[in-house]
Amino acid sequence: MSEMVQNAQGAPEEITTKDVTKAYLRWHFANEIPHSFERYVAPSLLYAMMPILRKLYKEDDALKAAYKRQLLFFNTQLSWGGGVITGLMSSMEQQRAEEEYEKKEILMQDDLMYNTKAGLMGALAGIGDAIDSGTVQYIFIAIAVPWAQQGNPLGSLFPFICFALYQVSIGLFFARQAFSMGRNATGLMQSTGVQTAIETLSVLGLFMMGVLAGNYVNVSSSLKFDISGREFIIQDILDQIIPGILPLAVVMGVYWFYTKKGLKVTQALLWLTLILIILAGVGIL
């Protein structure tokens, strides 16, 4: 009788959406705090998973083994990678705990769990960095730049607040969806809805970058000449034919440099400064 009570007490508890939400929030706010070269942000993932692992593993040895599994080298983007993997690990650890408790064959092997993390963390980080850091944050910045130029404090606060809320929201969404889908969570990133959202954000991000370049890259020509007593101002002619052609040429020139030489920002700035000084010196700009 006492053995049956002990086994019942050692059974893994049910993991709820609330637990997954708490895990992601712990990951989100501790993400870069324990960053190290040996494990990168694995301690953050372990910190996120600790309440869930305590609910699943009641024996000290099993709990220690779970801690070690989640403390192996890990690095990914905050919301896309962190959200999906936090939810997925919660689901996989739940299956592992049930297999151990019911004395079944362990299908959720350590290698399977780590290989899943390793396979996803790089791919999801690439998507997350491109969408969040390369697109979404610049959309918020583009919206707020006119307010900042007018001296409105909202211009500096709006991008920060909106981007922070966006990352928390999308991270929670991915964590919950990945937990509910279990090992099929990788299909979430290949679903039509997510792919459409990625493409839409990419196009919108390019559009907003064009708006920023057109409004805040100021390049104009000072070149003018007289023909038969009539003055021709090159900039006025360009504005009538192709408005914004010079700022566009500068932006496309920098883009061409990056495609040929790689993302060498310092070199690009030095070359751009030198070229503009020469053109200004001879009176073209």
DSSP 237-271: HHHHHSTTHHHHHHHHHHHHHHHHH-S-HHHHHHH
Q: DSSP state, 74?
A: B
Tally of CB atoms within 10 A around 255 = 11
Q: What Cα–Cα distance (Å) separates residue 67 from each residue in 54, 97, 158, 176, 257?
A: 10, 13, 39, 22, 47
Instruction: Find residue 231's DSSP bridge partners.
Output: 226
Distance (Å, whole) CA 133 – CA 154: 21
Q: State whether 124 and 258 are in the same domain.
A: no
Q: Which residues touch 81 (CB under 8 Å, ≥6 apart)? A: 120, 121, 124, 125, 128
Together in a domain, 6 and 113: yes
- CA–CA gap between residue 80 and residue 76 (Å, rounded): 8
Same domain assignment for residues 258 and 149? no
**Residues 239 and 206 grouped into a single domain:** no
Domain total in the chain: 2
pLDDT value of position 228: 64
**Together in a domain, 169 and 61:** yes
Please give the pLDDT value at position 64: 92
Domain end residue (candidates: 166, 196, 212): 212
Say if residue 227 is in the same domain as residue 179. no
Indicate whether 243 and 180 sit together in one domain: no
Q: What is the pLDDT of residue 7?
A: 45
Domain boundary among 188, 212, 236: 212
Residue matched to tokens 């019942």: 8
**Whole-prediction pTM:** 0.64
Residue 18 has a pLDDT of 92
The pLDDT value recorded for residue 211 is 61
**Strand ranges inside the chain, DSSP E:** 224-227, 230-233
One digit per residue, the tens of pLDDT, for the chain of length 285 reads: 333 334 456 788 988 999 999 999 999 999 888 888 888 899 999 999 999 999 999 998 999 999 999 998 888 889 988 999 999 899 889 888 888 888 888 888 888 888 888 888 887 887 888 788 878 888 888 888 888 888 888 888 998 999 999 999 999 999 998 888 775 544 554 555 555 655 665 565 566 566 666 666 677 776 676 666 666 676 677 777 777 777 777 777 777 777 877 767 777 778 878 877 877 776 666
Domain that holds residue 242: 218-281
Distance separating alpha carbons of residues 234 and 223, to the nearest angstrom = 6
Are residues 237 and 184 both part of a single domain? no
Which pLDDT belongs to residue 210? 64
DSSP state of 15: P
Same domain, 41 and 131: yes
Domain's final residue, options 212, 236, 265: 212
Indicate if 200 and 246 belong to the same structural domain: no
Say yes or no: 120 and 244 in one domain. no
How many whole angstroms separate alpha carbon 214 and alpha carbon 221? 16
205 and 99 within one domain: yes
Query: What are 256's two structure tokens?
Result: 């061409």
